[in-house]
Amino acid sequence: MKTYALLGEKLGHSHSPLIHNEIFKAFNIDANYIKLECKKEELEDIINSLRKGIYHGFNVTIPYKREVMKYLDEIDPSAKKIGAVNTIAYKDGKIIGYNTDYFGFKNELLYFNVECKNKNAYVLGTGGASLAVYKALIDLGCNTKYVSREPKDINTISYKDLENENIDIIVNATPVGMYPNIDASPISESIAKKAKYVLDIIFNPKQTKLLKYANSNMNGLYMLVGQAIKAEEIWQDMVYNKSIEDLVKKVEEMI
């Protein structure tokens, strides 16, 4: 039996094992998927365990999506452009990094029929996940900026500046509002209500305080399922030929 794992600092909130183990069942894959909490100094040894066959692939979450890149033999060109890796595979004797968050979020935008062309989009946060979100929005035609507490370039504005912007789309790519800190929101209700579309890549809780402010149901579960499917396609060298929506519904029923 092959073992795959999610690497991160704190993983109690994650539903990733449910999703991947459902995919294993659906395709009769003899494998299991676990959570592997680790410290930064442990990453190199854990990633190198792929060469020994101890593990057979990893997903990567907060706060290591950039950190892991230094330990890889090769980085997929699209992940290199994004600047973050969330999926690691061992192929032809090489440890290779990919970004499947991009695939998951782009398909979430399409699934929810979010109008992107020439719209003003703002990505809250500048961490590893935000990079894939930003690239997906740009590729779908949005005028996109990051929002940060400490803006450092022309593509980034402050949260105070956000109050004066003409906003079409807001995406929360920070952990603010994630379980157990469910009473927190990265922005005020008045700003959230300015946007036509508000998405949160958080999936636990199902409706964060930010989404409640905006009366939105666009949480991160579809993105999570979509990126998991893409990761499995990479690991198993297969094409996922089943309904993503059916898998999302099944996961929703289990959580």
79 within domain boundaries: yes
- Residue 14 has what pLDDT? 85
**Residues 118, 64: one domain?**
no
Examine the domain organization and report whether 133 and 167 are in the same domain. yes
154 assigned to some structural domain: yes
**Count of residues making up the chain:** 255
**Confidence at 170, pLDDT banded by 50, 70, 90:** very high
- For the chain, the domain total comes to 2
Q: Does residue 195 contact residue 170 with C-beta atoms inside 8 Å?
A: yes
In this prediction, residue 254 carries a pLDDT of 86
List the catalytic residues: 65
Check residue 255 and give its pLDDT. 81
Helix (H) or strand (E) holding 204, with range, is none
pLDDT at 12 over 90: no
pLDDT at 245: 92
List the CATH number of the domain containing 83.
3.40.50.10860
Residues 31 and 88 in one domain: yes
User: Can the peptide bond before residue 151 be classed as cis, meaning omega within 30 degrees of 0?
Assistant: no
pLDDT digits (tens, 9 = 90+) for 18-32: 999 999 999 999 999
Residues 149 and 68 in one domain: no
Q: Is the pLDDT score of 41 beyond 90?
A: yes
Q: CB of 15 within 8 A of CB of 68?
A: no
The residue with greater pLDDT, 181 or 29, is: 29
Structure token digits, residue 161? 């500046």
What letter would DSSP give residue 239?
Answer: -
In a domain, 81, yes or no: yes
Same domain membership, residue 228 and residue 208: no
User: In the predicted model, what is the mean pLDDT of the chain?
Assistant: 95
| Domain presence at residue 232 | yes
On whether residue 67 sits in a domain, the answer given is yes
Q: Are residues 86 and 146 in the same domain?
A: no
Q: Per mean pLDDT, which range of 30-34, 52-56, 180-184, 219-223 is the poorest?
A: 180-184
Same domain for 197 and 138: yes
- CATH number, domain containing residue 200: 3.40.50.720
pLDDT, tens digit (0-9, with 9 covering 90-100), for 107-134: 999 999 999 999 999 999 999 899 999 9
- The whole-angstrom separation of Cα 115 and Cα 129 is 21
Domain-located, residue 106: no
Q: Whole domain around residue 13: which residue ranges?
A: 2-99+222-254
The residue ranking higher by pLDDT, 204 or 102, is: 102
Q: What are phi and psi of 57, to 5 degrees?
A: 175, 155
- Does residue 107 belong to any structural domain of this protein? no
pLDDT (0 to 100) of residue 250:
92
Strands (E), the chain: 2-8, 31-37, 57-60, 74-75, 87-91, 94-98, 120-124, 143-147, 156-157, 169-172, 197-200
Judged against a pLDDT cut of 80, whether residue 13 lies above it is answered with no
Q: Are residues 82 and 146 in the same domain?
A: no
One domain for residues 17 and 57: yes
Say if residue 10 is in the same domain as residue 91. Answer: yes
Tell me, what DSSP letter sits at residue 36? E
Cα 110 from Cα 176, distance rounded (Å): 25
In a domain, 25, yes or no: yes
Pairing of strands 2-8, 57-60: parallel
pLDDT tier at 67, thresholds 50, 70, 90 = very high
